[in-house]
Amino acid sequence: MSYRDDVDSLYMRASALQRELDRAQAELAQRDAELAAIRSRSTILEWPRAEPLPLRELPAAETTLAQLIETFVPRPAPTPPPVPPSAKVLEAARQRLAQLDAECLVLVGAIIEELAMEPARRDELLERLRPIVARIVTRPSRD
Protein backbone atom coordinates (compact mmCIF):
# COMPACT_ATOMS: atom_id res chain seq x y z
CA MET A 1 0.00 0.00 0.00
CA SER A 2 1.42 3.38 -0.97
CA TYR A 3 1.36 6.74 0.69
CA ARG A 4 -1.27 7.98 -1.75
CA ASP A 5 -3.55 5.02 -0.86
CA ASP A 6 -3.22 5.84 2.85
CA VAL A 7 -4.15 9.47 2.24
CA ASP A 8 -7.13 8.49 0.09
CA SER A 9 -8.46 6.02 2.68
CA LEU A 10 -8.05 8.60 5.47
CA TYR A 11 -9.86 11.22 3.34
CA MET A 12 -12.71 8.81 2.63
CA ARG A 13 -12.98 7.92 6.33
CA ALA A 14 -12.96 11.61 7.33
CA SER A 15 -15.67 12.34 4.74
CA ALA A 16 -17.86 9.53 6.09
CA LEU A 17 -17.39 10.73 9.67
CA GLN A 18 -18.24 14.32 8.62
CA ARG A 19 -21.46 13.16 6.94
CA GLU A 20 -22.38 11.17 10.07
CA LEU A 21 -21.66 14.20 12.27
CA ASP A 22 -23.79 16.47 10.06
CA ARG A 23 -26.67 13.98 10.17
CA ALA A 24 -26.44 13.71 14.02
CA GLN A 25 -26.38 17.51 14.36
CA ALA A 26 -29.44 17.83 12.10
CA GLU A 27 -31.28 15.20 14.17
CA LEU A 28 -30.39 17.04 17.40
CA ALA A 29 -31.60 20.33 15.94
CA GLN A 30 -34.89 18.69 14.99
CA ARG A 31 -35.32 17.27 18.51
CA ASP A 32 -34.51 20.66 20.05
CA ALA A 33 -37.21 22.24 17.87
CA GLU A 34 -39.74 19.59 18.96
CA LEU A 35 -38.83 20.13 22.61
CA ALA A 36 -39.20 23.91 22.28
CA ALA A 37 -42.64 23.41 20.70
CA ILE A 38 -43.72 21.15 23.56
CA ARG A 39 -42.43 23.61 26.18
CA SER A 40 -44.26 26.52 24.56
CA ARG A 41 -47.57 24.63 24.66
CA SER A 42 -47.40 23.52 28.30
CA THR A 43 -46.73 25.35 31.51
CA ILE A 44 -43.78 24.23 33.52
CA LEU A 45 -44.16 24.29 37.27
CA GLU A 46 -41.36 25.88 39.23
CA TRP A 47 -40.54 24.28 42.56
CA PRO A 48 -40.13 26.78 45.35
CA ARG A 49 -36.63 27.13 46.67
CA ALA A 50 -36.36 25.46 50.06
CA GLU A 51 -34.08 26.64 52.80
CA PRO A 52 -31.27 24.21 53.53
CA LEU A 53 -31.69 22.16 56.66
CA PRO A 54 -29.54 23.19 59.62
CA LEU A 55 -26.50 21.04 60.27
CA ARG A 56 -26.82 18.66 63.16
CA GLU A 57 -24.35 18.80 66.02
CA LEU A 58 -22.69 15.43 66.49
CA PRO A 59 -21.77 14.08 69.93
CA ALA A 60 -18.15 13.82 70.96
CA ALA A 61 -16.19 10.90 69.53
CA GLU A 62 -15.54 9.49 73.01
CA THR A 63 -19.28 9.39 73.74
CA THR A 64 -20.06 7.64 70.48
CA LEU A 65 -17.25 5.13 71.01
CA ALA A 66 -18.42 4.39 74.56
CA GLN A 67 -21.99 3.81 73.32
CA LEU A 68 -20.73 1.56 70.53
CA ILE A 69 -18.65 -0.53 72.94
CA GLU A 70 -21.60 -0.77 75.33
CA THR A 71 -23.77 -2.31 72.62
CA PHE A 72 -21.26 -5.15 72.13
CA VAL A 73 -20.91 -6.10 75.80
CA PRO A 74 -22.60 -9.50 76.12
CA ARG A 75 -25.48 -9.47 78.54
CA PRO A 76 -26.88 -12.63 80.10
CA ALA A 77 -30.17 -13.73 78.66
CA PRO A 78 -33.07 -13.19 81.02
CA THR A 79 -34.17 -16.39 82.68
CA PRO A 80 -37.84 -17.20 82.36
CA PRO A 81 -39.79 -17.23 85.61
CA PRO A 82 -40.26 -20.70 87.09
CA VAL A 83 -43.44 -22.43 86.11
CA PRO A 84 -45.43 -23.46 89.15
CA PRO A 85 -46.08 -27.21 89.22
CA SER A 86 -49.56 -28.39 88.52
CA ALA A 87 -51.79 -29.76 91.29
CA LYS A 88 -51.36 -33.34 90.00
CA VAL A 89 -47.56 -33.09 90.18
CA LEU A 90 -47.70 -31.69 93.70
CA GLU A 91 -50.08 -34.42 94.85
CA ALA A 92 -47.89 -37.14 93.33
CA ALA A 93 -44.81 -35.62 95.03
CA ARG A 94 -46.63 -35.51 98.37
CA GLN A 95 -47.63 -39.16 98.06
CA ARG A 96 -44.10 -40.27 97.18
CA LEU A 97 -42.53 -38.17 99.96
CA ALA A 98 -44.98 -39.71 102.43
CA GLN A 99 -43.59 -43.13 101.54
CA LEU A 100 -39.98 -42.22 102.42
CA ASP A 101 -38.40 -43.05 105.73
CA ALA A 102 -37.04 -40.31 108.00
CA GLU A 103 -33.44 -40.66 106.80
CA CYS A 104 -34.37 -40.17 103.13
CA LEU A 105 -36.62 -37.22 103.99
CA VAL A 106 -33.76 -35.50 105.83
CA LEU A 107 -31.44 -36.09 102.88
CA VAL A 108 -34.00 -34.79 100.35
CA GLY A 109 -34.68 -31.76 102.53
CA ALA A 110 -30.96 -30.98 102.83
CA ILE A 111 -30.46 -31.21 99.08
CA ILE A 112 -33.47 -29.02 98.36
CA GLU A 113 -32.25 -26.47 100.89
CA GLU A 114 -28.80 -26.40 99.28
CA LEU A 115 -30.38 -25.99 95.84
CA ALA A 116 -32.23 -22.93 97.07
CA MET A 117 -29.23 -21.42 98.86
CA GLU A 118 -26.36 -22.08 96.43
CA PRO A 119 -27.28 -21.68 92.76
CA ALA A 120 -23.60 -22.12 91.79
CA ARG A 121 -23.63 -25.76 92.99
CA ARG A 122 -27.05 -26.51 91.52
CA ASP A 123 -25.81 -28.96 88.83
CA GLU A 124 -23.84 -31.01 91.34
CA LEU A 125 -26.76 -31.16 93.74
CA LEU A 126 -29.18 -32.15 91.01
CA GLU A 127 -26.87 -35.05 90.16
CA ARG A 128 -27.01 -36.14 93.81
CA LEU A 129 -30.79 -35.80 93.82
CA ARG A 130 -31.42 -37.92 90.69
CA PRO A 131 -30.70 -41.34 92.31
CA ILE A 132 -32.99 -40.46 95.19
CA VAL A 133 -35.75 -39.51 92.78
CA ALA A 134 -35.16 -42.74 90.89
CA ARG A 135 -35.53 -44.70 94.15
CA ILE A 136 -38.75 -42.84 94.94
CA VAL A 137 -40.17 -43.57 91.51
CA THR A 138 -39.23 -47.24 91.50
CA ARG A 139 -40.08 -48.00 95.17
CA PRO A 140 -43.32 -49.96 95.44
CA SER A 141 -46.06 -48.20 97.34
CA ARG A 142 -46.92 -49.32 100.89
CA ASP A 143 -50.69 -48.99 100.42
Domain boundaries, the chain: 1-41, 87-138
At 27 the pLDDT is: 96
At 16 the pLDDT is: 93
List, for residues 73-82, the tens digit of each pLDDT value: 666 777 777 6
Q: Is 101 left (phi over 0), alpha (psi -120 to 50) or beta?
A: beta
List, for residues 86-134, the tens digit of each pLDDT value: 777 777 777 888 888 888 888 777 777 777 776 677 777 677 777 777 7
What is the rounded CA–CA span in Å between residue 48 and residue 35?
24
Segment 28-33 shows an average pLDDT of 95
At 77 the pLDDT is: 75
